[in-house]
Chain A
Amino acid sequence: MIADIAFYIFAAVLLISAAMVVSARNPVHSVLFLILAFFNAAGLFLLAGAEFLAMILVIVYVGAVAVLFLFVVMMLDVNFARLREGFQRYAPVGATVGVVLLAELALVLGGWKFAPEAATLRLAPRPDQVQNTAALGALLYTRYILLFQMAGLVLLVAMVGAIVLSLRDRHDARRQDINRQQSRRVADTLELVRAPLGAGIASLGIYRPITAPAAADGQAPPGSDNPEVHAPAPPAEVH
């Protein structure tokens, strides 16, 4: 009884939120309704006794995919009023696709319900003693290992493709090389010179940005970040 009530609540909320995904004015609201739809689908899976699928649905779709959706939709300033301009024109195409999908679904369900060959599938015993995580694993990693691996490879290819398309080698980007930082020694970065009094270091052939007052009293200028030379002050105490 309670399971029936829960089923109808989940199913109703799922359908309503699915409708709201396409009809909400604000794209961010659309994505939030999509998340609600995922949740209710997970609830339906739970009611059907497929707890592993329910959790995976929440982890993969709600926890990762929808976050990225939301991320992109929030970042892009999409003007949905303009996107909706062609709605009248494309509505028949969308309706056709929907009707075809519905018909196919009906055919598949009908075949499963009435075809004599499918009767054996329906009679397959539900593995009540085996947890469905273990049952899925035992099936997926033995009989369907090739298909499973191929699905993984397809995803890998898609990922490599996306990276190749979007990767640009930016030469002006600043990078942190931890190895270089760690292996730097004082001798690599600091050079001590004996500069004659009053003449500055320019007479030794070392040039650096010099501001007028700092140069006058031999102090390193505060903004000086020339990596090659950091002349100590006062110069007389060098060595």
Chain B
Amino acid sequence: MTAFFASGFGMFVLMVLETLALLVPLLLGVAYATVAERKVLAAMQLRKGPNVVGPFGSLQAFADAGKMLMKETIIPTGANRLLFIAAPMLTFVLSMIAWAVIPVDNGWAIADINVGILYLYAISSLGVYGILIAGWSSNSKYAFLGGLRSAAQMVSYEVSIGFVLVTVLLCVGSLNLNDIVLAQRNIWFCIPLFPMFIVFFISSLAETNRSPFDLPEGESEIVAGFFVEYSAMTFALFFLGEYANMFLMSGLTSILFLGGWLSPIPLPPFTWIPGVFWFILKVALCMFVFMWVRATFPRFRYDQLMRLGWKVFLPMSLAWLVITAGVLVATGWLPHAPS
């Protein structure tokens, strides 16, 4: 058996199996996140939420999927057909491939690469293309406005995310996600780097176009923004891509700041529980906060969004980066790259 998995074909089979083991739970999670969000929003607004399909509405996700599959895919006459179809696929694929480097337990990543955090940053910065291309290829004013808004917004917030990542990397001394989690054995980074934790979480809200930064959709002024012309499965792919991106950002938050798969209390009864459980728990917690924020805050105005990104988060994260570097050098805690 071991010999088979060491051969070329065996490695391929192993890779496919690993990918399925990651993607199937992820997609199930994405499907149920849509139901969970409606349930959470309903609970916060003293409603019941979906409760007809299946017990407690638990089969709602499959009913929605069936409905989306049955519907007709409408392609507008003036649209650029190829790009119009490719944009939702791009969004969905990008939100999936980023998971290749996420470690769900010690060393449990499909690709445990040296520059894992850079890979994630690169993939998340590509997310804007799906939206921009969708907005442009629809050949519709509202969709175009939504695409432009999204491009400006995501580029702005990526800058502060970059500084937050550099701050964390300074404390770790490695770009490997596994090392980043292991560096938090003594203390999770959300405690010493608390302001950066907040900046990162809010920026990830903006990066995933979630409320209160969902201006690219902005249904009150630009109808539904970039996906106004989309229907059926093309629409569903955008929808699922958004939720998968939320999962990705939650996973990233838990890896960078909440100690990834590490148990909150490093004592025997808790360390016996497998790390995957803690990782999923932390991701679910972050997802809940995403939904909580949506139920709580009204949408930002566009100039407020830009002000927050460029005039508040950027100087703040830059200052905190300098402070962190200064403290690490002054106290001699600066970790060295394992060489």
Contacts and interface: CB of A to CB of B under 8 A. Distances in A.
A71 interface: yes
Nearest to A178: B307
A35 interface: yes
B172 to A, nearest CB: 12
A68 interface: yes
Interface string B86-128: 0000000000000000000000000001110011011001101
A130 B339 contact: yes
Nearest to A68: B155
B136 A55 contact: no
Contact of A67 (B115, B121, B122, B151): B151
Given A62-B126, A63-B126, A63-B158, A52 B136 contact: no
Nearest to A56: B118
Contacts of A74: 132, 136, 144, 147-148
B118 A131 contact: no
Contacts of B144: 74
Given A74-B144, A74-B148, A133-B175, A28 B125 contact: no
A130 B303 CA distance: 46
B115 A62 contact: no
A71 B126 contact: no
A137 B339 CA distance: 13
Contact of A62 (B114, B125, B337, B339): B125
Contacts of A56: 118
Interface residues of A, number: 25
B292 interface: no
B180 to A, nearest CB: 14
A70 B158 contact: no
Contacts of A134: 337, 339
A12 to B, nearest CB: 21
A55 B115 contact: yes
Contact of A59 (B125, B304, B337, B339): B125
A129 B114 contact: no
A32 B152 CA distance: 18
A131 B114 contact: yes
Contacts of B132: 67, 70-71, 74
Contacts of B32: none
Contacts of A28: 136
- Size category, B interface: 20 to 34
A75 to B, nearest CB: 7
A236 B135 CA distance: 58
Contact of B113 (A51, A70, A176): A51
A137 B307 CA distance: 33
A41 interface: no
Contacts of A64: 125, 155, 158
B155 A59 contact: no
Interface string A48-64: 00011001101100111
A63 B120 CA distance: 12
B239 interface: no
Contacts of A133: 114-115, 175, 337
A32 B307 CA distance: 30
Interface string B138-166: 00000010011001100100100000000
B129 interface: yes
Interface in A129-172: 129-131, 133-134, 137
A32 B122 CA distance: 17
A141 to B, nearest CB: 12
A9 to B, nearest CB: 17
A119 to B, nearest CB: 27
Nearest to B132: A70
B339 A129 contact: yes
A137 B334 CA distance: 15
Interface in A104-137: 129-131, 133-134, 137
A58 B122 contact: yes
Contact of B126 (A58, A75, A129, A137): A58
Nearest to B162: A59
Nearest to A175: B303
Given A51-B114, A52-B115, A64-B158, A35 B122 contact: no
Interface in B286-339: 303-304, 307, 337, 339
B148 A35 contact: no
Nearest to B147: A74
Contacts of B158: 63-64
Interface in A35-89: 35, 51-52, 55-56, 58-59, 62-64, 67-68, 70-71, 74-75
Given A64-B125, A133-B114, 7 more contacts: A28-B136, A32-B83, A55-B122, A59-B121, A70-B129, A131-B114, A176-B304
Interface of B: 83, 113-115, 118-119, 121-122, 125-126, 128-129, 132-133, 136, 144, 147-148, 151-152, 155, 158, 175, 303-304, 307, 337, 339
Report, nearest first, the 6 A-B pairs whose CB atoms are least far apart. Answer: A63-B125, A55-B118, A58-B122, A134-B337, A59-B122, A51-B115
23 contacts: A32-B133, A35-B129, A51-B114, A52-B115, A55-B118, A55-B119, A56-B118, A59-B121, A59-B122, A62-B122, A63-B122, A64-B125, A64-B158, A67-B128, A67-B132, A67-B155, A74-B132, A74-B144, A74-B147, A130-B339, A131-B114, A131-B337, A137-B337
